[in-house]
Amino acid sequence: MPTPHYGLPRYRVIADQLRERIENGAIPPGALLPAETALTAEFRASRGTIRQAIAALREAGLATTEHGRGTYANAYPDRFSDAQTRRREIAADAELAALFDVEVGATLVEHQSVTRTESKVETVMRVYRLRQTGP
């Protein structure tokens, strides 16, 4: 087989389809995606291409992979109705301060989203950002 990637590359197309399943709940938060070998069969793609697609999902924050275990779906807070979100401002501890290169105690914004399945908490996701300075 040649390698015609007119338009979108295959790994992007595959990543989009997997993203669709995560967002519409076919793969609920915390559930495992099919194994890489299973995906190679389903999409008729090499394992490298499948891994590239999964890497794209990870970068988008949609999945988390563990060695020997599998790849979990993460919640997509904006589109999940059963997700609770909260925003608050916190003081940077030493670790976050080092990452953001600010002083300890500087103000950071934390967005927290809690996803549940059948009222049981599945995941808690916290995203930290610098507080936006004025326009």
According to CB under 8 A, which one of 35, 61, 91, 105 is a site residue for a second copy? Answer: 61
Give yes or no for a contact between 53 and 14, defined as CB atoms under 8 angstroms apart: yes
The structure tokens 């399943």 sit at 21
Nearer to a second copy, 42 or 130 (CB): 130
Which residues lie below 8 Å from residue 76, measured CB to CB, with a gap of 6+?
A: 22, 23, 62
Give yes or no for a contact between 75 and 125, defined as CB atoms under 8 angstroms apart: yes
User: Could you tell me the smallest distance in angstroms from the CB atom of residue 120 to a second copy?
Assistant: 8
User: Could you tell me the smallest distance in angstroms from the CB atom of residue 9 to a second copy?
Assistant: 12
Nearer to DNA, 59 or 93 (CB): 59
Q: Which residues pair with 87 in a beta bridge?
A: 111
Residue 88 is a binding residue for a second copy (CB under 8 A): no
According to CB under 8 A, which one of 30, 43, 51, 82 is a site residue for a second copy? Answer: 30
- The amino acid that residue 23 corresponds to is E
CA geometry: angle at 74 spanning 86 and 117, to 5°?
A: 75
Residue 61 is a binding residue for DNA (CB under 7 A): no
Residue 37 is a binding residue for DNA (CB under 7 A): yes
* Residues near DNA (CB under 7 A): 1-6, 9-12, 32-33, 35-38, 44-49, 51-52, 65-71, 132, 135
